[in-house]
Chains A and B, each alone.
Chain A
Amino acid sequence: MKNRILIVDDSFYMRTMLKNMLTDAGYEVVGEAANGQQALELATQTKPDLITLDVILPDNTGLDVLKGIRQEQPDVKVVMCSAVGQEVIVNEALESGATAYIVKPFSEEKVLEIVGSALQDSESAQS
């Protein structure tokens, strides 16, 4: 079965790019959220296998969203998307339960590699 992914990023450009990369690689993008509130709602509605989560969002910070999602869905994989210079937030995110992180600007290979290995962890953990 296709792995189902929710994309959370406040930039339409970034969401489009991520969606294209992931869809081309055979993943199913089940939703796109542009802010923290949408992210939490869609995470509950769509129950994705993996969420790509932008660190900086308009309403909440990405960290708050991460914590919110973790409370409801401890098993979902969360890949944080950040830019150079946000190592502090990334570290905090990893401590708060993020599975992995990607640094922008990202290449297609890097995105697929990180998403792929994050999902593999879950499969091996489940089996």
Chain B
Amino acid sequence: MKSREQEYREIFMAEALEYYDAMSRHISELERNPADEPALNELFRLMHNLKSNARAMGYTQIGEAAHHMETIFGLIRSKDMTFTGPVVTVLFDGIDTIGEMIRAVGADQEASDISFLLENLDRLVRGESPILEDTQEEEEANRKLELSDLVYIQIKKLDHLLNLVGELIIDRDRVLTLSQEIGNPALMAAAAHFSRIADDLQYSVMDARLVGVGSLFNKFPRVVRDVAAAEEKDVELTIVGEDIQIDRNILQIITDSLLHLVRNAIGHGLETPAERIAAGKTGQAHLTLSAQTERDDVLIQVIDDGRGIDVESVRRKAVERGLVAAETAATLDPDAVRSFLFEPGFSMAKQVTEISGRGVGLDVVKLAIDSLGGQLRVDSVMGQGTTFTLVLPTSIAVKGALLFVLDERNYAIPLMHTDSVVSLMPDDFHVVGGMLLARVQDENLPVVPLRRLLHNGDGPLAPASKAELNGRQDIIIVNYSNRKLGLIVDRFLRQQDIVIKPMSKPLDTIDLFGGVTLLGSGQVCLVLDVPALTRLFLARRP
């Protein structure tokens, strides 16, 4: 449970950064048009709020700076001062300084000395000229001596590093195996050392890719404001746990999902102020975006205090849609019923609204989370609200794989189990005992269309016939415990290092897939588990 101080601090930070962004925008507007009264009024109001909030938090430096700035904006507003010349310079400098101070509070750092700014603001109030050139140049000169401890790096470069590490890991395994085959003790010791360093490097690179969840969360105050305004709802957003770390690409992948869940919550979950008050709630609805760590996972939650999900109505709809038999539906517990919400095309919205009816449905959110090897859960209490929980891995791991397309979807197959790839014409196949055989490099290999193997269900595969082979066939020959099997796919894509996450419960029971991966394009890609596929083929062959 978070202490009230922590909660206040987080709210203060989120709001102060928002104020800072708005103030930066408004002062630029004012510079373009000094007669822009709304901008001036906003600057005054935001500075005033920042002052009050900072003082309440005990951040006296920020309070003091904001107080001085507010005074000047007040004077400009009452036409006792004009927004020109040195006044502009000092005020811009003031807003920059305030931004730095807010960030310093967020990073738990000492605030910088602001006596120079305060002195200049005081001078302006007294009608004196501020000190500009000399001191600032000196400051600039001093600043050049300090290099930041942080570097910014393009994610592309980190992706490249991760790919290199992936290749290194493959070579590490080869070197280890070779050294054992050769049996030279010095070589084996060197290989073991090399292996440890490669592991360490892999974890360091993964660690470098971690970012704070806040980098995504902090985009939401704006989203919530806009969506709430469009839906005529009054929504207060609380952000919790923005410092929780997660792989940057995972954050990228869940962006749309989170956006969808938030829009959904405001559009369908939360009621209008009038409805809420009629239901005995506060007119203002509450939405919380929260992140926390749970063992190796990151939990991200979207919590609303809206009307909740009507389990019985979901149950009825699931039966209407033919997703489940009525008798079975009646026996399902609420959790099982709510999981129908993640079925494709299952929308509970009575009317599709401008905001939440757009784009993806919950099934797509589910798919994105699955692609990360994560889970999506929903909990809800009628009349009290709904919570969507995304359970996500913190990081991702690397493997070499062959990518191919089947039914317009991308799949990957680990290179470790891939023997070769061939393209054959129908004449290269024979049917023996209902089984398709292909002659490849003086060997007769069993071949099966992967589509049939994946969608066969229980019971033996239907006997094969050459008639179903149309034109050139792309075949991946996999090899598992010396048993080769040809899989017919629609099209080969390429060989690539991929990052694989194992599928989590309950999906881990679908053992045909060893995990999921994400392509550079952001596409989801299931990774085939060759041992399981081979076992399935053996069990089901005609």
Contacts and interface: CB of A to CB of B under 8 A. Distances in A.
B282 interface: yes
B277 A13 contact: no
B12 A20 contact: no
A90 B274 CA distance: 32
Given A32-B283, A41-B273, A14 B45 contact: no
Contacts of B7: 16
A31 interface: yes
Contacts of A11: 15, 49, 52-53
Interface in A33-49: 33-34, 38, 41-42, 45-46
Interface string A1-43: 0000000001111111100100000000111111000100110
Given A32-B283, A32-B284, A104-B56, A13 B15 contact: yes
Contacts of A17: 8, 56
A45 B53 CA distance: 29
Contacts of B12: 13
Contact of B56 (A13, A38, A46): A13
Contacts of B160: none
B328 to A, nearest CB: 45
A15 B7 CA distance: 13
Contacts of B4: 20
B172 interface: no
Interface in B50-104: 51-53, 55-56, 71
B201 interface: no
Contact of B52 (A12, A14, A32): A14
A105 B66 CA distance: 14
A16 B11 contact: yes
A42 B56 contact: no
A17 to B, nearest CB: 7
A29 B277 CA distance: 12
Contacts of B273: 31, 38, 41-42, 45
B305 interface: no
B282 A30 contact: yes
Contacts of A12: 11, 15, 236
A32 B277 CA distance: 12
A45 B274 contact: yes
A110 to B, nearest CB: 12
A112 interface: no
A14 B53 contact: yes
Contacts of A38: 234, 273
Contacts of B282: 29-32
Nearest to A28: B282
Contacts of A41: 273
B209 interface: no
B42 interface: yes
Interface string B362-390: 00000000000000000000000000000
B48 interface: yes
A83 B277 contact: no
B283 A45 contact: yes
A70 B8 CA distance: 32
Given A13-B12, A83-B48, A31 B53 contact: no
A58 B48 contact: no
B284 A31 contact: yes
Contact of A58 (B45, B56, B274): B45
Interface of B: 4, 7-8, 11-12, 15, 42, 44-45, 48-49, 51-53, 55-56, 71, 234, 236, 273-274, 277, 282-284
Given A29-B282, A41-B273, 19 more contacts: A11-B53, A12-B15, A12-B236, A13-B11, A13-B53, A14-B49, A14-B53, A16-B7, A30-B277, A30-B282, A31-B283, A42-B283, A56-B44, A56-B45, A58-B42, A83-B52, A85-B71, A104-B55, A105-B56
- 8 smallest A-B Cβ distances: which pairs? A105-B55, A105-B56, A31-B283, A104-B52, A11-B49, A32-B284, A13-B53, A13-B11
6 contacts: A11-B52, A12-B236, A13-B11, A13-B56, A33-B284, A58-B45
